[in-house]
Structure 1
Amino acid sequence: MYRRLVLKLSGQAIAGPNEFGFNSDRLTHLANEVIAVRATGVQVAVVVGGGNVFRGNRAGDWGIDRVEADNIGMLGTVINAVLLRGRLSALGADDVRLMTAIPINNLSEPYIRLPAFILARDHNLPLHVFDIDQSAAASSIASGKHLGTLIN
């Protein structure tokens, strides 16, 4: 069984059946999956996307520079992370932390990319990529089932 898991959630996972926006039932489902994995003793890190809020590749549609569009997308990621943290906490999860490379001191801790990857490498942290939309996918991986792609 793994001791640590990095879970990548797309913004679409939070939007549920909608192309954009948020789905409360979906957010609760995702939070419960994370809580279930944590209950097995596995440490979980969640990386969340922001495509349900804004997609950088739509810069031309809005008449803005691609870099600006990507910045808006990064803020969408922060919005999703705050939503997920809030739902996890509301469901009883403790010690839920939020980190972002965008300095937002009131909402998160700073994340610095290179030290994070070095930490994962130095501790032989497996990165497992899979489709969270599969029922109980995170719990299945935490219990040792082979699902998705393992990246060492």
Structure 2
Amino acid sequence: MEAEDKPFIRDFNFIFPSHKNTKAFAALVFFYFANSDGGVGMTRYKRVMIKLSGGAVAGSSEFGFAPDRLEHIASEVMSVVELGVEVSIVIGGGNIFRGNMAESWGIERAEADNIGTLATVINSLMLRGVLKAKTDKEVRVMTAVPVTSVAEPYIRLRAIHHLEKGYIVIFAGGNGQPYVTTDYPSVQRAIEVNCDALLVAKQGVDGVLEADPRTNKDARKFASLHYNDVIQHNLRVMDQSAFILARDFRLPIHVFNFDRPGTMRDIGEGQNNGTLISEESILQFD
């Protein structure tokens, strides 16, 4: 089909000629796609990275797995998949092992990070099992450390190919090195596999606040921020090295309350729930 036979595409290029082929414009363009039931719909992003903490699977318990939380995670992830969005995931390991445990036991940092790395593999395998119980779609775990009997090794082009085929891809094992949190590989993998946005799931906090709500009950929530606003105001969004990497590659970040059902789907459909951090955003309070 020639360009002149595609009025939607032609009109959008006419209105926004200077924004074509930029990652920033991904937040504005609506992609056409074929969804799971064969219909046609619209979604804000074509491919996303979802960052979950280990605490997301533990619920009210400090450690372990809570069945209701696993069910919630699976339902929320599938609500995005059903929009036709290509989904990748990074999950932490804090429900199994945390740094403060290592300190109390005198474990060296590098060794502690290796334990945490394997904890993310366990969580990723658990998440794959729960998702497979809810969908016929392929769910692949790819690891940065070799555990070939239970998961695939991470190969960037293979990961992209999986996503293009509609597979859900869970990246485990961090980036295979100590001294980084799972924030960093969530941004790194998102950039490597060409994700349009990073969705940062928080428990009980609906976005980025101007102050710690535990010490300031009147702390206001930001509706949107520029990357530089986060740095200038010393706001806690994620590990700073991960955030700077996202800024340098202009990766939009949504920070939202994962406990509220439907929030990720709403973001996928174009709503700015929580806080949006991007190159085009300006500092605005909710």
Q: Residue 98 of structure 1 aligns to a residue in which SS?
A: strand
- The equivalent of 1:15 in structure 2 is 58
Bigger relative contact order, structure 1 or 2 (CA pairs below 8 A, ≥6 apart): 1
Greater strand share, structure number: 2
Question: Which residue of the partner structure matches residue 5 of structure 1?
Answer: 48
1:118-144, Cα deviation, whole Å (9 max, x unpaired): 534xx4622233232232221111111
Q: Which has the larger radius of gyration?
A: 2
- Measured after TM superposition, the shift of residue 117 of structure 1 is 5.3
How far did 1:101 drift? 0.8
Give the letter for the 2:84 counterpart. Answer: G
Secondary structure of 1:97 counterpart: strand
Structure 2 residue aligned with 1:103: 146
In structure 1, give the amino acid aligned to 2:192.
Answer: L
Question: Retained in 2: the 8 A contact 1:15–1:52?
Answer: yes
Structure 2 residues not aligned, in runs of 5+ = 1-43, 156-174, 176-184, 201-254, 280-286
Specify the alignment match of 2:261 in structure 1: 135
* 1:27 to partner: Cα distance: 0.4
Give ranges in structure 1 of 5+ residues lacking alignment.
none
Question: What do residues 41-73 of structure 1 show as CA deviations (whole Å, max 9, x unaligned)?
Answer: 011111100000001343121221111111111
Structure-2 residue corresponding to 1:126: 197
* Counterpart pick for 1:55 among 98, 104, 108: 98
Identity of aligned residues (%): 47
Match of 2:120 in 1: 77
- SS of 1:2's equivalent? coil
Query: Which consecutive aligned stretches of 4+ in structure 1 deviate over 6 angstroms post-superposition?
Result: none
| 1:79-107, Cα deviation, whole Å (9 max, x unpaired) | 11000000000112411111111110012
